[in-house]
Each structure stands twice: as structure tokens, then as C-alpha cells.
Structure 1
Amino acid sequence: MIGSITKTRNGRQFQINKRHTRKRLDVSELTLGMHIVELDRPWIESPFLFQGFLLESPDDIRMVQDVCSWVYVDVLEEEWQEHHGATAGKPQTRQRFVEKQEMAQQLTQANRTYQATKQQVKTLLNSAYLGQAMNMEGAKVAVKECVDRVIHNPNAILWLTRLKHQDEYTAEHSVNVCLLSIALGREMDLAPYELENIGICGLMHDIGKMKVPPEILNKPGPLDPQEFEEMARHTTYAKQLLMGRSDIYPGAVDVAYTHHERLDGKGYPRGLDASKISLFTRIVTVADAYDAMTSDRCYQKGMSSIDALKILNRHAGSQFDTDIARQFIAMIGLYPPGYLIEMTNGEVGIILSSDPGFSLKPKAIMVLGPDKEPQPERIINLANAPQDDRGEFYKAAGVFRSGTFGVHVNDYISKGLRIKGFEFCMQD
């Protein structure tokens, strides 16, 4: 057993027990992305160099088929047991293949979606700033694509929310809040159409800032009381920009107007209490706060993910919805994609993702050696208990923001990584 969680689906509560195991397959059933862990013959009698490998190309599959009749592959076994009050129904078992799809392809597709959505946001922000009519059709298409990507592979799209540029803060923040809200909605089992609606809410939540004077919006220091009062009006400006439009989800108006309200009634602009704050506003509020806290601004450096999560937890119940904040914290986890991970042996890598059920054992691209000097990049998966050159098991020692140890994640993305099993170029 590797873990047990409780989930609610369509009003029904399930206890899910997860176990990492193996499944025997005929070689005719093999597909790209499966991880081979055992052959139908001794490894020494095969042409394969390593005991255990990922099927990364059709040639890999054909080579296995030429040698073997059957193999064992990694699977994640889930036992779903529904609870009916004090009683429990008969458990149902599901099997999921580990690493079904190549992260390389997923990241490339996710980046295209991210960049297209950011361009749509820039267009909308510019229209709002100039007082021109906003065309929402492109934004709707982009948000639908974001939903598809998050459903397909949340790690790939959320990885991109870490790659931030201070000079593009407003546009990237809007996209990030959109994506984080969709991902959180997915964790809460919202329907696809609801995910599209929450995505629009996240995308448009800060549109009113385009009516705030630039010298206040971009001030490199604390705002004085009068400036803060003007900044706070961005919620009212958003309501004025969006109210009465027939081409936008109506709930987006409410979210843009109320995303700075607090459950304890101490927020703005109206000081609403919990009874008057909608579900979508509560979701966007958490996503908005987290992305803002972890972003570098002209007046302050962003904090680490773990520190931001601690603040969400500390203010759960007063500023943030308790259940939503805790689900968000669980979703982001201790090892969020796009952050740096230092191992106990001193090596440093970039966190990619984690297999289902292995949230404390992520995958990472190792980029620095124990001496903190660049080394040939390679991928390790802590769930597979990899060993370093000394035969010691890799163990995580700490998580750090991009830029620590001189490693800037953006630099790796801009030059395009070329790694066996993770070949992609974010410039495509």
C-alpha cells in the first residue's frame, strides 16, 4: 500500500487505497510511455542495457516484441470503496498504467496553450486599457484548451505557471490564476463546463487593473493610503467593464468584483461575509493569493511555494475557505513542478512531476552535481528508488525557487532541453 485518500464524486464519498504493482502484458498490448520492469527471460539474455526502461518510441516497442512474448509493466492499482454512512459498499478495483504518455509531448503542447492564452489576455488587457471593445471569443477558445490540457496532464500545464517574467506580471498572473483555478476545480470534481466557467473567472479577475493609473499599478514600493484606495477600486472597475456583457459567463462579473472579499467580512470593496461569497470566488481567491505571493514584483521578491502554502493554511477559515485552501495545498504539494530540488548528496534538479500516489517522491531533471557544477542532464524518478554514482539512494533535502544555486528554470526552457526520455523544445 502506498497511500489512502478520500474523494467525493457526484455526491458519493469513496475511500481510495493505492498500491504500486506490476501487470503482465502480451507484447502486442504495449504502448508508448509504459515502463518495462521484467521480461519473460533473464535480462542478460536480452539486448537491453538496463533492467527497467521506458518505451519512448515505436522502435523500442518493436525491439521488445522481437525478443519477448510477454513482459511486466508498472501499474498503479486503486481500490475504490464507497461509504454509505456507517457502512461501506463492495470495493471496486481500477488499474492505471504508470507514465502512459511522454512528458515531452505534453509540455510542448501545454506551452503552446499557455502562450496562446497569454496572448489572448494581453489583447483583452490592452483593449480594456484603451477603452476599446473586448473580444471574448478568442479567450473562450483559449480557456477551453486550458481545460483540456489540465484534464489531460495537470503537471505539464502547472509546470508552466512557475516560469514567470516580472515585466509580464499582469498577463501571466491572469493566465496562472486561470490555470490554477481550473486545476483546483478538477480536484474538486467540477464538471468540464464548470471548469471552463471557472477558467474565464480566473482569466478576467484582474481586468479592472487596466483602469488603475500605471504609476500606482507599477509603483516600486508600498502604496500610501490614497494609492491603496485607488488600487482597491480595480474590483469596481472590473464590474463596470464586464457588467451587462452577453458574451461572458455572468459569474465572472461577480468573481472580478468580490475576489478580495474575506470570509470574516474584513475584505473589500463591500466587506461581505462568508454567506455572500460564491464558490467560484472562493476558488479564484485562493489561486490569486498563491500566485501573487510566489511571484516577483517590482517592489518585492516572491516567496517560496511552501511559505505561501503556510500562509494559506494560517488564514484558512478567516480569509480563505478552509476546505478549498486545504485541497489547494494538497494539489500543489511539497514538491511542486517547476521548483528546484536539492538531494542529500548535494545534486540539484528541476522538479517535473510525480506519479499518482507518489507525491513525496517526484521526478526531476538533475542539472548540477554534488559540487553545484553543471552535469549532463538526466531524469530520475524517486518513486523507483534510484541510486547515485556512489550507490547511495537519492533522497530529497530541500525545495527552492528558480534562481537558487544559479539555476534559472527559464534559461533551461528558453534554450530547449534535449534529454533522453524528455526531448522537447519550449520554443516550438
Structure 2
Amino acid sequence: MIGSITTTRNGRKFQINKRHTRKRMDVSELTAGMYIVELDRPWTDSPFLFQGFLLENDEDLLLIKTLCEWVVVEVTEEEWCELDGRGKASLQHRTRYVEKQDMAQQLSAASHTYQSTKLQIKRLLASAQLGQALNLKEAQAAVKDCVERVLNNPNAILWLTRLKHQDEYTAEHSVNVCLLSIALGREMELAPYELENLGICGLMHDIGKMKVPAEILNKPGPLDPQEFAEMARHTVYAKQLLMGRTDIYPGAVDVAYSHHERLDGKGYPRGIDSSKLSLFTRIVTVADAYDAMTSDRCYKSGMSSLDALKVLNNNSGSQFDPELVRRFVAMIGLYPPGYLLEMSNGEVGIILSADPGYQLKPKVIMILGPDKQPQPERIVNLSMEPEDDQGVPYRPQAVFRSGCFGVHVNDYINRGLRIKGFEYAIAAG
């Protein structure tokens, strides 16, 4: 199966054709970071827990070298075609080993970034609620770390935006909008310093809600017109809190004040149209709407990712910027990390990531068998055309939110999902 992407490196434009494959190797050639998919003997004759594992360290290398003469590893073959603008192209062939170790490391690091950023926004929200001065220095440092994580591995950090707790909605929503905005800004090829400014805008966009009475903010039902008018004033409160500060990106004031405006001028608080909406405001508006729609609240259950993307698309051009919606939909994809994926054979897994060119064939952590009962956890890479125990190729059937089939993604992460080659634990927030 071939995937193709276009990229620019050092001012040179390349088309990269990718193919996942397997390679037999003598054990003397192995190094840490390689992913073993087959041994020269039955798996039952080995001490390894999973049929497929990562060589993590020298201890693993010594064990496999003692046990086997050869193994089969998973690799990605790349064909780099340089485009010179005149229709001519030169080919280069590269082989690299699948970066499962990088994904595991990045997700572990991303989890710490997420929790640290949530802690900072909690402190800021508390300060705003109590009328205290806002200390933005540590929040800005956290956002800078968020940018680094998104640039290193957007799958890892976006995975964490699925981890939601209803009683921490405002804090987690702020972090999620920050991360989703940075990720969308990355798709727009913004510079790192621009992504940092954008991240601050996303993190601070709802700070004004801390001035809204708690009985309105947490009301378990629809707001009446008077209550909605007060809720809408959170944009004005945010402007008042942030205006005049010299220690924050000035555009954050505009985004906090304007993120409920619409392109057609029917938004609030001012009813301004597209001619007065900045790029950062438009980006945060899309990220804000998507995360709000996919979140559970005390008065409603969140939408599925697909339904939320449909709402964005249906309101493209009137409420949301069409180009940003197009980029956002492509970024999130049909199989967003952190959602549940049911296979055609009835097995269920948690979507881990999707590589460029393989958005329809993601990596999945399989957790439930066809009978919807827990099974030994393992990673399945759908781009490798894997088969189930009956020899039938895995095929995606439907995507579900956390909570379906009795599976709560938070529970798996909080207890520390441990898979050979993909081990991490997220500390309690």
C-alpha cells in the first residue's frame, strides 16, 4: 500500500511515496528502536508477551540475540522524488525503521505537557475568579512547550485532547483549544513564534467565564434569554481582564473578545463581519467550536467527532472560515486519535495515530475481542493489512466516543496502559 505526501526540505520540494513493508534481518544487525514482527521460531517458544514488540534497550537486544538467529522487522520504504519546477525529477530511495519508540516517548512527554498546561490555566482561572492579578509567565512557558510537542508529534498531543472530565470542563477546554489551535496553525505553516502567540490566544480565550456567575456557568439545562446575555458577556469580561497588560501577546485580547463573532456578522458581542476578524480569531473559533461540541457537559452529551466536523462543514462560509474548516477536517480525519474503532469482526480498539498518507489506515490499540470482552492489549497497524486470528483482514467499521462498549479511554490511561513498545502513564491531573 503506497501513501504519498509533498514536503519542502531546505528550500527543495519533494514528493515522498511511502510503503510499509517487512524485512528479514540477522540478529547481529538489530539496534534499539526496531519493531519485531516475526521470529525464526514460534512465538509460544519465546519469553515475549506480545506477538510484535519493540527492541527498547540493550537487555532486549541481548535476549533476542541469545534466542534467535534472524527476525523480521517492520520498516517504511520511502521514494523521494525531487521536484525542480520544470517537470524534471530525481529519485532517491530510503529505508527507515518504524518510529514506534518515538510515538511512545512523545506521548509520554506530551502527557506531562498537557497536565502542566492544565495546572497553569487552573491557576489563572482561579486568579481571575478571585480578582487577583494574573501571573502569565508560567502559562507562556507551558504554551511554548505545547508548540514543541505539536511540532514533534501532533498525533501524540491531539490524542490527549480526548481525555475529558466533566467537572474540569473549563480548564480542559482551554488547554484543548490551545492545542487544537496550534495544530491547525501548524497545518497553515505558521512559524514557531506565531504558534506560541496562537497558543496563548487559545489558552486564554475563555478566561472571562470566571466572571460569569457560577449558577449560570454550570446550569444543568438551557439558558433563558437573560442568562444567555450574561454568559455572552464573558467575551467582554475577558477583554477587561487582559486589556492593557504588557506581559501577554496583544492579539490574545482580540481573540478572547471576538471568538464568538461570525463571518456573516451574526455573532456576538459586536456583530462584526469577516473583514474585521483576524486569522488567529478564525482559528480559535474553529477549535473552540469543535472541542465544545465533542465534550460532555452536565446538561448534554457531546457529539461524535464526525458529527462535529459535519457541523463545521455545514456552517463553513457563514460562521467559520472555509479554508480553515477544510484544513481542520483533514487534520482531524475520519479516525481521530483517542476515539474507539470497531472492526468488521467485532473487535474494538483505541485509535492511536494515523501517518501522513495513511489517514484511512490508522494504528490502533486493540482492547476488546469480538465478544466485547477485554483481550490482551496489542498495537495493530492497519496500513500493514494485518489479519485477525481467523486469517481475515482487519477492516474499520465504525468510530465511537469514549464510554461506548463500557470503555472509558480515561480509565485506560489513568491506570497506565502498558504495551511492549508503547508504555506510558499519565499522572492524575
TM-score, scaled relative to structure 2? 0.89
User: In structure 2, how many angstroms separate the alpha carbons of the residues matched to 1:116 and 1:12?
Assistant: 38
Question: Within 5 Å, which residues of 2 pair with 1:285-364?
Answer: 285-364=285-364
Counterpart residue number, 2:32: 32
User: In structure 2, how many angstroms separate the alpha carbons of the residues matched to 1:236 and 1:179?
Assistant: 24
Change (3 A) 1:126 1:29: farther
Counterpart residue number, 2:80: 79
Per-residue deviation, residues 352-377 of structure 1 (Å, max 9, x unmatched): 11233221111222111111112222
Give the C-alpha shift of residue 217 in structure 1. Answer: 1.1
Give the C-alpha shift of residue 323 in structure 1. Answer: 1.2
The answer to whether the 8 Å contact 1:9/1:189 transfers is: no
Give 5+ residue unaligned stretches, structure 1: none
Counterpart residue number, 1:140: 140
The answer to whether the 8 Å contact 2:106/2:156 transfers is: yes
Counterpart residue number, 2:172: 172
The answer to whether the 8 Å contact 1:355/1:383 transfers is: no
Amino acid at match of 2:319: Q
User: In structure 2, how many angstroms separate the alpha carbons of the residues matched to 1:194 and 1:316?
Assistant: 24
Counterpart residue number, 2:59: 59
Give the C-alpha shift of residue 378 in structure 1. Answer: 1.9
User: In structure 1, how many angstroms separate the alpha carbons of the residues matched to 2:90 and 2:323?
Assistant: 26
Change (3 A) 1:215 1:51: closer
SS of corresponding position for 1:143? helix
Residue 215 in structure 1 maps to residue 215 in structure 2: yes
Counterpart residue number, 2:191: 191
The answer to whether the 8 Å contact 2:340/2:350 transfers is: yes
Change (3 A) 1:256 1:424: same
Residue 123 in structure 1 maps to residue 126 in structure 2: no
Aligned residues: 423
Amino acid at match of 2:383: A
Per-residue deviation, residues 221-246 of structure 1 (Å, max 9, x unmatched): 11111211111111111111111111
Counterpart residue number, 2:382: 382
The answer to whether the 8 Å contact 1:201/1:284 transfers is: yes
Per-residue deviation, residues 145-168 of structure 1 (Å, max 9, x unmatched): 111111122111111110100000
Residue 203 in structure 1 maps to residue 207 in structure 2: no
The answer to whether the 8 Å contact 1:417/1:424 transfers is: yes
SS of corresponding position for 2:299? coil
The answer to whether the 8 Å contact 2:18/2:76 transfers is: no
User: In structure 2, how many angstroms separate the alpha carbons of the residues matched to 1:108 and 1:259?
Assistant: 32
Amino acid at match of 1:77: E
TM-score, scaled relative to structure 1? 0.89
Question: Within 5 Å, which residues of 2 pair with 1:390-401?
Answer: 390-401=390-401
Per-residue deviation, residues 57-86 of structure 1 (Å, max 9, x unmatched): 3333455677779987512525355475xx
Counterpart residue number, 1:90: 89
Per-residue deviation, residues 286-330 of structure 1 (Å, max 9, x unmatched): 111100000001111100001111111111121111111111111
Change (3 A) 1:53 1:170: closer
Give 5+ residue unaligned stretches, structure 2: none
User: With CA pairs under 8 Å and 6+ residues apart, which has the higher RCO, 1 or 2?
Assistant: 2
The answer to whether the 8 Å contact 2:36/2:71 transfers is: no
Structure 1 residues 28-37 or 233-242, which shifts more? 28-37
Residue 413 in structure 1 maps to residue 413 in structure 2: yes
Question: Within 5 Å, which residues of 2 pair with 1:254-269?
Answer: 254-269=254-269
Change (3 A) 1:368 1:235: same
The answer to whether the 8 Å contact 2:21/2:384 transfers is: no
Residue 244 in structure 1 maps to residue 275 in structure 2: no
Structure 1 residues 92-101 or 400-409, which shifts more? 92-101
User: In structure 1, how many angstroms separate the alpha carbons of the residues matched to 2:274 and 2:12?
Assistant: 25
| CA-atom RMSD in angstroms | 3.0
User: In structure 1, how many angstroms separate the alpha carbons of the residues matched to 2:359 and 2:304?
Assistant: 18
Amino acid at match of 1:79: W
User: In structure 1, how many angstroms separate the alpha carbons of the residues matched to 2:425 and 2:52?
Assistant: 26
User: In structure 2, how many angstroms separate the alpha carbons of the residues matched to 1:375 and 1:37?
Assistant: 19
Give the C-alpha shift of residue 108 in structure 1. Answer: 2.1
Change (3 A) 1:230 1:3: same
User: In structure 2, how many angstroms separate the alpha carbons of the residues matched to 1:68 and 1:421?
Assistant: 21
The answer to whether the 8 Å contact 1:120/1:139 transfers is: yes
SS of corresponding position for 1:101? helix
User: In structure 2, how many angstroms separate the alpha carbons of the residues matched to 1:70 and 1:220?
Assistant: 58
User: In structure 2, how many angstroms separate the alpha carbons of the residues matched to 1:235 and 1:95?
Assistant: 51
Structure 1 residues 142-151 or 101-110, which shifts more? 101-110
Change (3 A) 1:83 1:250: farther
User: In structure 2, how many angstroms separate the alpha carbons of the residues matched to 1:30 and 1:316?
Assistant: 50
SS of corresponding position for 1:254? helix
Amino acid at match of 2:164: K
Identity of aligned residues (%): 72
The answer to whether the 8 Å contact 2:5/2:357 transfers is: no
Change (3 A) 1:95 1:276: farther
User: In structure 1, how many angstroms separate the alpha carbons of the residues matched to 2:308 and 2:28?
Assistant: 48
Change (3 A) 1:70 1:213: closer
SS of corresponding position for 1:140? helix
Per-residue deviation, residues 363-417 of structure 1 (Å, max 9, x unmatched): 2221111111122222211122222111111111111000101111111112112
Give the C-alpha shift of residue 55 in structure 1. Answer: 2.5
Change (3 A) 1:395 1:414: same
The answer to whether the 8 Å contact 2:54/2:100 transfers is: no
Counterpart residue number, 1:280: 280
